[in-house]
Amino acid sequence: MHGDTLTHDLFAEIVKIPLIDPHSHIDPHRPTAKSLDDLLGYHYYTELAHSAGLPKTALAAEVPARNRVAAILGHMDRFDNTAQYAWFIDIARTYLGFQGNRVNAGDAEFLFEAAERTFAQPNWEEQVLRQSNIEKVFLTNDFDDPLTGFDTNRYVPCLRTDDLVFHLQKQAVRDRLARATGIEIGAAADLRRALASLFSHFVSHGAKACAISLPPNFSPAAVSDNDLSAALGDAAGSELLSRGVFWLLAECCQEFKLPFDLMAGVNRRVYCEGVFQGQDLFDQRTSLIQYAELFNAFPQVPFCISVLSSAQNQELASYSWIFPNVVTSGHWWYSNIPVYIENDLRGRLQAVPKTKQIGYYSDMYKLEFGLPKYNMYRRILAKVLANDFVRSGMTDEAGAVALARQILRDNIRRIFDV
Amino acid sequence: MHGDTLTHDLFAEIVKIPLIDPHSHIDPHRPTAKSLDDLLGYHYYTELAHSAGLPKTALAAEVPARNRVAAILGHMDRFDNTAQYAWFIDIARTYLGFQGNRVNAGDAEFLFEAAERTFAQPNWEEQVLRQSNIEKVFLTNDFDDPLTGFDTNRYVPCLRTDDLVFHLQKQAVRDRLARATGIEIGAAADLRRALASLFSHFVSHGAKACAISLPPNFSPAAVSDNDLSAALGDAAGSELLSRGVFWLLAECCQEFKLPFDLMAGVNRRVYCEGVFQGQDLFDQRTSLIQYAELFNAFPQVPFCISVLSSAQNQELASYSWIFPNVVTSGHWWYSNIPVYIENDLRGRLQAVPKTKQIGYYSDMYKLEFGLPKYNMYRRILAKVLANDFVRSGMTDEAGAVALARQILRDNIRRIFDV
Amino acid sequence: MHGDTLTHDLFAEIVKIPLIDPHSHIDPHRPTAKSLDDLLGYHYYTELAHSAGLPKTALAAEVPARNRVAAILGHMDRFDNTAQYAWFIDIARTYLGFQGNRVNAGDAEFLFEAAERTFAQPNWEEQVLRQSNIEKVFLTNDFDDPLTGFDTNRYVPCLRTDDLVFHLQKQAVRDRLARATGIEIGAAADLRRALASLFSHFVSHGAKACAISLPPNFSPAAVSDNDLSAALGDAAGSELLSRGVFWLLAECCQEFKLPFDLMAGVNRRVYCEGVFQGQDLFDQRTSLIQYAELFNAFPQVPFCISVLSSAQNQELASYSWIFPNVVTSGHWWYSNIPVYIENDLRGRLQAVPKTKQIGYYSDMYKLEFGLPKYNMYRRILAKVLANDFVRSGMTDEAGAVALARQILRDNIRRIFDV
């Protein structure tokens, strides 16, 4: 906090805002960690440990959980400078009774036992949500998820469509689609019906968004039904098929009134030998102008855009300032680092209507990460509000807190209708 | 000001520097606003209100001015976080006797009346210029502007050439050119004579610069007279024609000793249904290396370069550090936001000879915007000078103020010969 | 230092860390300056003076050194705002007894005489190294350098390979290669043997790295021996040849266990009439994804990457966080400016394992520049450690100094095995 009273006071008010987390990978049937392995298995830790020298074999599924955990902890002093390390320390101190500022292999036993004990408490899920001040969490559901057996009011379904857009040439995906909808895909018309069926299923189960991650060179465009039908039958037509399916999804978003979350810019499997979920990287040579046709074609669909670099964030701030249907969304993945969050947040707060900004989402796999990730963001938000808004005279403290509430809660409620 | 005395003191000195504003869209026959509608009709307000939900129809020409104004004010609480909102508050408080920090639809009546009364004062233009401490303002003149009926010492003509470079295939533009010069364009030689005639006209009426805005993919190159003649007669040859006309303009700049303002990076009509002047956006995938051939070919022409992103600003700082004829110019459009100004300004001040920097221009359509826009810049400049120059020991306060004067006034006088 | 005690204290501790400078252009036979001309002949000064108006003729070899120096000093007041000017002032005050804060042509005589006197001291080299706290300095050696006649423990050889990769079509380069290795290059197999011979020579003389600078569009890929042999005989095959030679060098790095320094992004001779070494510029449209195949193919080779822009630095931080063999390296050339160093350093320190970061190198041609360049970096490092690490509670002062030591010394010792 830099001993700055104003920032401190703003942070204290901001943490009181009940959060709606508009993007996570929470499994609603198993939302919290069961062990330290569930925490340190988060790809941020496995990939940083691997990047710092830990062989992938030490992380394999057949390695006992205690050994896997000890291996990662034993490498943590190689990346104890990182933001991700700070999240873990926050968790260890808040939830596991850890007292120090540094962890190493010697702490494995204590932390492992503390985690077993703590996470086994019957009301652990409630405790975590209360302590994080998180009210609702959006999910990332496969298109063939039955969406049953959990409270969709707390865990809001969200239709994830990467498989449909990028892997529909695979028979396995078509089989899943056929099982989920009862429709075998022969031509474009079948696809339309199948997607409508998915949207219908999702909306009727409380889904509030459609989402996808997109490679840097993706450029959406309408595809004629004839071309789409042809692409469905042609293994070489996958690029056209991707564009066509994507466009149909946007049409469904319009028809079913769902916002479309676009996470733009990631190439998959760049580091082929990387750990699970630790293989993807971006290419800065990408532009939101690739989406201009889309934004023009669907003025009623809110597109909530996440980007991976500060350079593209400057584009995003400009596109959201001009296009009524472009919303800035969170700080994603490689951009979810304090120096980039601060810069990107300042650009958005100074240039984009405040009603069109989704401040943050956790992207978490386990609820325990909500607290440290949102805390990182809230600290930066408090600092930016203090310097750029209160000290500059733009507003007073109450106005700054209201602005925080707008981007952390009110906009999410309005845009996603929750 | 963050309660920082040094920054405060520097700002107080910097505001005393009489400004020469090297780029605006002022109409010298009607330089000030006549009504609140003239202020809120500035595209920044119409596009932000539209982006935040105001239908374009509410801004149509046939809507009564009071209603248009009320509609925008009624949406301002959706973008009262933006830099542009802060400009308006600065105007309302400085010029219109507004007392608060927040405006809304309820203030429409008061502000409208105050504007009518204030702007009708006979010496209003003088008042605004004095209060803004602006001595001269560069214009943006169509190539067929007669340049008569105003004081070209105060309102410095500048030949704007977008129509010539990008629309010369249109008969209407050729007709305008023929009327302005008496020359019908058949072949390259006619074009040379016509352009020379325009430059002659402009220079004899006190013009001090040639200017153009350019799309991100533009890459100037010499075109042979044969190719140029062919392109003039070929509707499909517009890209070649653009390159050829642009090159001839650079030759004229050399011959007539005019600096060439290049505003690089904007795509037109990206958001097709946007409000007037609120449809353009950039593509970050552009590089100043596209201009290397130009910079090499015309060593005597100062190229004053504006860019739209911080990533390209880093290129600009490097190109200006290496090329004697490349000058950094202002903070343009989507870059004219405090966080980007600060970052871009720091890069330039730390890397580019101080004699090659044009600090700021207003880009304004009405003189009333000079004050808030320059104030925004001067506050940032004061902060950067305080931290990077005085506190670092690079110079003392007097040296910092001299540096401000260099980039706000002296360089503009020297480079544009005013 | 901004009157900040913590930053001051950290700086005071950081300067005590003995430096290993992992990249310079020092001539080990003549490591220090002999005259003021040796200092001001550094391309930063000639190019800034030229950019600010000094004709290239004033810098020609036939101009007497005193006149050349006076010409540059006479133009310094045009770029006394730059970081490079600050380096010179630091040198003048630390080494030459200069008392002021501003130099101009009037100081030429004093500085010239002081330099002659000072640099002629018999133990000058030792004095400079001691005062800079530099222990070892890596060199940039031509591939046919005999590497004899100097202390390779202090001046660590490094095989520079630009000529081999980009100029092997030139007979002169092939002749040099034949002379250095005794091998005439006919086919791919000859090239392999010749490169192995060079690596063998370098390693046996204490070389600790292979290095190259690469243009923005370079994209390494394996080339078959057949294609490589064909390219060797085909003047039009230079692009393929470059790729092929580069790949063989990476193979040699693997075999001879040398890290490969990649300095990515510079185009040569962009400003054709620029001063010596002042003609090169970058193109921001480049991505590290161009190196993905390379990073995947050589997991055992540490690739120490330097980039030219903050946008690509964000890529670098992400690639180094994911790829175990990608190391962030220094702040190169156009990025070696405080505002960019600060931003880039923060990104790396917050996102990349601390063991994979090479903090800084001098890139210097004369030892006297070690002090001011490292001082610039150490001041920024102290500020970043104070704000992002100590004040945020990530670590204490001792931890911050240990982090500085890690990136300034320990990593370099480990990665380069010195």
Is some CB atom of chain B closer than 8 A to the CB atom of C1?
yes
DSSP H/E element including A193 = helix A188-204
Burial label, C168 (beta-carbon count in 10 A; 0-12, 13-18, 19+): buried
Q: In B, which residues are within 8 Å of A296 by CB distance?
A: 271-273
Is some CB atom of chain A closer than 8 A to the CB atom of C410?
no
ipTM over 0.85: yes
Strand ranges, E, within C215-282: 260-264, 266-267, 281-282
Q: What are phi and psi of A168, to 5 degrees?
A: -75, -10
Mean pLDDT of A95-105: 92
Chain C closest-CA separation from residue A339 CA (Å): 6
The nearest alpha carbon in chain C to A276 belongs to: C322
Q: Encoding tokens for residue B374?
A: 């320059």
**pLDDT for C3:** 60
High-pLDDT (> 70) share of chain B, %: 99
- Are C355 and A78 in contact (CB < 8 Å)? yes
The nearest alpha carbon in chain A to C290 belongs to: A283
- Are C82 and B387 in contact (CB < 8 Å)? no
**pLDDT for A1:** 40
Chain C closest-CA separation from residue B283 CA (Å): 11
Q: Range with the lowest mean pLDDT among A224-238, A251-265, B238-252, B276-290? A: A224-238
Q: What is the pTM of this model?
A: 0.98
Q: In C, which residues are within 8 Å of B339 by CB distance?
A: none
Is some CB atom of chain A closer than 8 A to the CB atom of C230?
no
Rounded Cα distance between B342 and B351, Å, is 14
**pLDDT for A3:** 60
Is some CB atom of chain B closer than 8 A to the CB atom of A294?
no
Mutate to test the interface with B, among A322, A394, A408, A410 (most CBs of B within 10 A): A322
- Are B271 and A292 in contact (CB < 8 Å)? yes
pLDDT category of residue B1 using cuts at 50, 70 and 90: very low
Residue with tokens 């190719």: B227
Is some CB atom of chain C closer than 8 A to the CB atom of A340?
yes
A330, A364 Cβ separation under 8 angstroms? no
Whether residue A207 has pLDDT greater than 70: yes
B34, B375 Cβ separation under 8 angstroms? no
- Are A350 and B83 in contact (CB < 8 Å)? yes
- Are A337 and C356 in contact (CB < 8 Å)? no
The nearest alpha carbon in chain C to B403 belongs to: C81
A53, C302 Cβ separation under 8 angstroms? no
Q: In C, which residues are within 8 Å of B351 by CB distance?
A: 82-83, 334, 337
How many other CB atoms are there within 10 angstroms of residue C69's CB atom?
Answer: 25
Is some CB atom of chain B closer than 8 A to the CB atom of A407?
no
pLDDT digits (tens, 9 = 90+) for B52-83: 999 999 999 999 999 999 999 999 999 999 99
How many contacts (CB atoms, under 8 Å) link A and C?
118
Q: In A, which residues are within 8 Å of C323 by CB distance?
A: 51, 271, 274
Chain A closest-CA separation from residue C115 CA (Å): 42
- Are C352 and A82 in contact (CB < 8 Å)? yes
A411, A356 Cβ separation under 8 angstroms? yes
Q: Which of residues 91-120 of B touch A (CB under 8 A)?
A: 101
DSSP H/E element including B212 = strand B209-214
Mean pLDDT of B322-346: 98
pLDDT digits (tens, 9 = 90+) for B131-149: 999 999 999 999 999 999 9
CB-nearest partner of A334 from C318, C356, C388: C318
Tell me C274's DSSP state. P
Mean pLDDT, 10 residues at a time, over chain C (418 residues)? 82 98 98 97 98 97 96 97 98 96 91 97 97 98 98 98 97 97 96 98 98 97 96 89 97 98 96 96 97 98 98 98 98 98 98 98 98 98 97 96 98 98
Whether residue B190 has pLDDT greater than 90: yes
The nearest alpha carbon in chain B to C53 belongs to: B324
* CA atoms C109, C115, C116, C121: torsion sign: positive
pLDDT digits (tens, 9 = 90+) for A291-305: 999 999 999 999 999
Non-local (6+) Cβ contacts of A61 within 8 A are none
* CA atoms B294, B300, B306, B310: torsion sign: positive
Mean pLDDT of A189-214: 98
Chain C closest-CA separation from residue B350 CA (Å): 4
**pLDDT for C191:** 97
Task: Count how many Cα atoms sit within 13 Å of the Cα of residue C227 in the half-sphere of its side chain.
Answer: 14
pLDDT digits (tens, 9 = 90+) for A39-57: 999 999 999 999 999 999 9
Q: In B, which residues are within 8 Å of C272 by CB distance?
A: 296
CB-nearest partner of B343 from C48, C86, C339: C339
Mutate to test the interface with C, among A81, A85, A90 (most CBs of C within 10 A): A81
Task: Identify the chains in contact with A, defined as 3+ C-beta pairs within 8 A.
Answer: B, C
Can you tell me whether residue B336 is helix, strand or coil? coil
Mean pLDDT of B252-256: 98
B198, B142 Cβ separation under 8 angstroms? no
Strand ranges, E, within C178-309: 209-214, 260-264, 266-267, 281-282, 303-306
Q: What is the mean pLDDT of chain A?
A: 97
**pLDDT for B404:** 98
Mean pLDDT of B37-48: 97
Residue with tokens 């993706």: A218
Whether residue A230 has pLDDT greater than 60: yes
Rounded Cα distance between B128 and A353, Å, is 29
Rounded Cα distance between C148 and C150, Å, is 6
Chain B closest-CA separation from residue C121 CA (Å): 30
- Are A322 and B285 in contact (CB < 8 Å)? no
C389, A112 Cβ separation under 8 angstroms? no
Is some CB atom of chain A closer than 8 A to the CB atom of B3?
yes
Is some CB atom of chain B closer than 8 A to the CB atom of C132?
no
Q: Is B149 left (phi over 0), alpha (psi -120 to 50) or beta?
A: left
Is some CB atom of chain C closer than 8 A to the CB atom of A272?
yes
pLDDT digits (tens, 9 = 90+) for A350-387: 999 999 999 999 999 999 999 999 999 999 999 999 99
Is some CB atom of chain A closer than 8 A to the CB atom of C5?
no
CB-nearest partner of A349 from B50, B81, B279: B81
Q: Encoding tokens for residue B391?
A: 């506190």
Task: Identify the chains in contact with C, defined as 3+ C-beta pairs within 8 A.
Answer: A, B
Residue with tokens 């018999």: C122
- Are A337 and C351 in contact (CB < 8 Å)? yes
**pLDDT for C1:** 40
The nearest alpha carbon in chain A to B50 belongs to: A324
Which pairing describes strands C155-156 and C134-138: parallel, antiparallel, or unpaired? parallel
